[in-house]
Amino acid sequence: MIKKMKRREFIIKGSSAIIGTGLALKSGLSLGAGVSSKSKIVEVMHSKAVLEGRKVDTSVVRKILKEGMKTLTGAKQPWAKFIKPGDRVGLKINTLGRPMLYTHHELIKVVAEELMDFGVKKNNIIVWDRWERHMRDCNFVINTSDKEVRCYGTQTLDSAKSRHDKEQVFESDFDNSRQREEGRTESYLSRIFTRECDKIINMAILKDHGLASVTLCLKNLAYGLCDNNRRFHGPEHIGPFISEFCAIPQVRNKVVLHMIDGIEACYEQGPCPRNPKVIYPQNTLWIGTDPVALDTIGFNVINAKRKEKGINPLEESGRPTDHIELSAKKGLGISDLKKIKVQKIKLG
């Protein structure tokens, strides 16, 4: 069980004096703390990860993951760099793009199997997302039992059964007050995150977003770990919210590994594509410990696809694109491409 934190440790208040440069973080976090001058990202591609009819080859995905983890860490047992066998490990997936695009079952399966081979107990692995109904729409079988890998969401159709931790909150009045749930300036964190997991692996999807330009590692955390965040979807609020939320010390410390699932990707109509033509096989997985660097690379990959398709780049599409750079300024990672080493591996 993680140490219970005082409520005020998570509270952030907006200030008119700093609007446009982010919110005032009151966690005592030193900006730039623990961030190296360079970041390493591993990019693993296999042209046959996705077969005809959008069928994903699990055996190929397993090869991609194994090679990526070995290359990232340089260790025979790469998982030991991030977790211990006794840890409760949460796989934070993304199912917002239901029913067409979500973190692939095949990737989740091989990650879970790798963790179990390392020694993590099967029932200590939790596959989860914010909305349980979205998970059901993506054919995830809900399991809250003490058998097998667990699988469930924070928010359920029955609000009384939702898994929120009302003692640990993110608070800000720098938002759209008309979009607040029950008039709250508080966003409750997920109990799955705060109390049920010791370590988190962030498993984002490579896709664009109609409001935030992209929804990759950073957004998968900020909008996936708490409720009452529709109020931050205004163009002036998205960037400050994402960067401030991801700067919470517990988020920085507990999320130990980030992945961008680019086995299939979406370059337009995200985050909930309705036309299968905008979904394509990228056949790639990106792995790293720096979510800012990963999002920087993912942003450029999506833009390259948009250029190929004759669509305006994200920065010219009327969507705010500042959350990656604001997160870099918070010391959450590197956004300068010259300081990001991308080790590319092509397996087939």
At 229 the pLDDT is: 97
Do the beta carbons of residue 32 and residue 247 sit within 8 Å?
no
Residue 105 clears pLDDT 60, i.e. is over it: yes
pLDDT tens for each residue of 42-66: 999 999 999 999 999 999 999 999 9
pLDDT at 3: 37
Q: What single-letter DSSP state applies at residue 138?
A: T
Return the minimum-mean-pLDDT range out of 66-70, 103-107, 313-317: 313-317
pLDDT band at 10; cut points 50, 70, 90: very low
Q: Write down the pLDDT at residue 125.
A: 98
- pLDDT category of residue 347 using cuts at 50, 70 and 90: very high
Q: What percent of the chain has pLDDT over 70?
A: 90
According to the per-residue pLDDT averaged within each range, which of 1-10, 20-29, 69-78 is highest? 69-78
Task: Kindly state the average pLDDT of the residues 65-79.
Answer: 97
What integer is the mean pLDDT of 75-104? 97
Q: Name the residue range of residue 106's domain.
A: 7-346
Q: Is residue 2 part of a domain?
A: no
- The pairing of strands 199-209 and 255-266 is parallel
Q: What percent of the chain has pLDDT over 90?
A: 86
pLDDT of residue 22: 30
The model's pLDDT over 292-306, given as tens digits with 9 standing for 90+, comes to: 999 999 999 999 999
Q: Is residue 28 part of a domain?
A: yes
Q: What confidence tier does 29 reach under pLDDT thresholds 50, 70, 90?
A: very low
Q: What is the pLDDT of residue 5?
A: 40
Q: What's residue 7's pLDDT?
A: 38
Residue 1 resides in a domain: no
49: in domain: yes
Predicted structure pTM score? 0.90
Nearest to 322 by CA among 237, 196, 226, 257: 237
- Per the structure, how many domains does the chain have? 1
Rounded mean pLDDT, 230-251: 96
Q: Is residue 239 part of a domain?
A: yes
Q: What is the DSSP string of 1-16?
A: -PPPPPGGGGB-B--G
Per residue in 217-236, pLDDT (tens digit) is 999 999 999 999 999 999 99
Is residue 101 a part of any domain in this protein? yes
Taking CA atoms, 326 is separated from 29, 30, 245, 270, 334, in Å, by: 15, 15, 11, 22, 11
What 8-state DSSP symbol labels residue 24?
Answer: B
Given a cut of 60, whether residue 285 has pLDDT beyond it is yes
The average confidence (pLDDT) of the chain is 90
pLDDT tens digits for range 253-268? 999 999 999 999 999 9
Q: What is the pLDDT of residue 48?
A: 97
Per mean pLDDT, which range of 24-33, 146-155, 207-216, 217-226 is the poorest? Answer: 24-33
Question: What residue ranges in 114-196 does DSSP mark as E strands?
Answer: 125-131, 150-155, 164-171, 186-190
b (16+ CB within 10 A) / e for 47-61: eebbeeeeebbbebb
**pLDDT of amino acid 37:** 82
pLDDT band of 35, cuts 50, 70, 90 = low
Please check the confidence at residue 40 and state whether its pLDDT lies above 50: yes
State how far the Cα of 339 lies from the Cα of 317, in Å rounded to an integer: 27
Q: What is the mean pLDDT of residues 264-273?
A: 96
Q: Which residues, 6+ apart, have CB-to-CB distance to 111 below 8 Å?
A: 65, 91, 201, 203
